[in-house]
């Protein structure tokens, strides 16, 4: 039997080089499912996204999904993509198994925790707002780390710089005074030991997946790590989220960051979505 992808619509293109198209998965010309492919809006046209893959129930467990995914990779190679990415719900165990079998690796996961009550901070610890004088250095540091991460994901340096400019203009349009965003400093025994950036996400399309509030950044100064300050910052994030009216708090943890993952799990966060990727050689 021959499994192929048959386009169901004209290819869509954007000014920035983005592409998208939907297909039927066909076995000997008989439709058995659907696939939608796009280039990734965040990573740019060099990253293809397997946005949707479905095989009809009657045709499952026959390798149709595997062949369709491999055919999708060939389409993306033809588009000039150097990697394929996908987001898989944590509940979709079959899809996660398929991705692993096809050589996809975890880039990171989104985790969410329901919020019930504001936790108390440990003795000796207090949270204060980032000052106006501290904001420029903090923002420059956060932005530089973000650019490095984007380059690791496959963007060129100019693309990463441009994306960072757009995202910070969107997320912090008024700097430290942006409504619904809290920029905090953790003070322990009189010393500044870490920083926190948490914000509301109400009204965004992915708010239900990412949490109504979201931890964009949590960082402990290197000389103070290993003393429980990361946990304290996360407790402070819960307090800010609750004060802002959120009922859940989301975050992202990179694949392979075992210490952070263990911390979040110990605090009650659970995975809701995995981001996976595969180089297209």
In percent, how much of the chain has pLDDT > 90?
A: 83
Split at pLDDT 50, 70, 90, the class of 184 is very high
Mean pLDDT of 25-42: 94
pLDDT at 151: 87
Q: In CATH, which of 3.40.50, 3.40.630, 2.40.40, 1.25.40 is domain 3-81?
A: 3.40.630
Split at pLDDT 50, 70, 90, the class of 205 is very low
Phi, psi of 183 (to 5 degrees): -110, 115
Cβ contact 125:186 at 8 Å: yes
pLDDT at 15: 84
Phi, psi of 166 (to 5 degrees): -65, -45
DSSP assignment, residue 90?
T
H helices of 132-278, in order, are 135-152, 157-171, 207-210, 229-243, 258-266
In percent, how much of the chain has pLDDT > 70?
A: 96
pLDDT at 8: 97
Give the three-class secondary structure for 166: helix
Q: Which CATH class is domain 113-273?
A: alpha beta
Whether 3-81 shares its CATH topology with 113-273 is answered yes
pLDDT at 209: 53
Weakest-pLDDT range from 51-55, 202-206, 218-222, 259-263: 202-206
CA separation (Å) from 177 to 132, 172, 238?
9, 8, 20
Report pLDDT digits (tens) over 67-107: 999 999 999 999 999 999 999 999 999 999 999 999 999 99
pLDDT at 155: 76
The pLDDT of residue 152 is above 60 = yes
Domain extents in the chain: 3-81, 113-273
- pTM for the model stands at 0.87
């Amino acid at each position: 039997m021959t499994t192929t992808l048959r386009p169901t619509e004209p290819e869509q293109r954007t000014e920035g080089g983005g592409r998208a198209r939907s297909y039927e998965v066909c076995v000997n010309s008989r439709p058995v499912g659907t696939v939608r492919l796009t280039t990734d809006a965040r990573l740019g046209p060099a990253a293809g996204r397997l946005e949707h893959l479905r095989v009809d129930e009657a045709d499952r467990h026959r390798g149709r999904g595997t062949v369709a995914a491999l055919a999708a990779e060939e389409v993306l190679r033809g588009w000039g993509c150097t990697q394929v990415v996908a987001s898989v719900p944590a509940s979709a165990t079959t899809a996660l198994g398929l991705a692993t079998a096809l050589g996809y690796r975890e880039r990171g996961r989104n985790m969410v925790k329901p919020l019930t009550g504001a936790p108390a901070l440990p003795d000796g610890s207090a949270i204060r707002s980032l000052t106006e004088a501290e904001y420029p250095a903090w923002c420059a540091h956060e932005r530089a780390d973000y650019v490095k991460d984007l380059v690791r994901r496959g963007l060129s340096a100019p693309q990463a710089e441009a994306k960072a400019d757009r995202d910070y203009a969107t997320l912090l349009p008024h700097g430290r005074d942006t409504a619904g965003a809290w920029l905090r400093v953790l003070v322990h025994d009189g010393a500044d030991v870490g920083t926190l950036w948490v914000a509301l996400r109400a009204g965004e399309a992915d708010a239900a997946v990412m949490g109504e509030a979201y931890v964009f950044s949590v960082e402990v100064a290197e000389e103070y790590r290993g003393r429980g300050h990361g946990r304290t910052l996360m407790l402070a994030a819960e307090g800010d989220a609750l004060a802002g009216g959120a009922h859940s708090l989301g975050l992202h943890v990179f694949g392979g960051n075992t210490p952070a993952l263990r911390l979040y799990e110990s605090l009650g966060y659970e995975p809701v979505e995995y981001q996976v990727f595969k180089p297209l050689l």
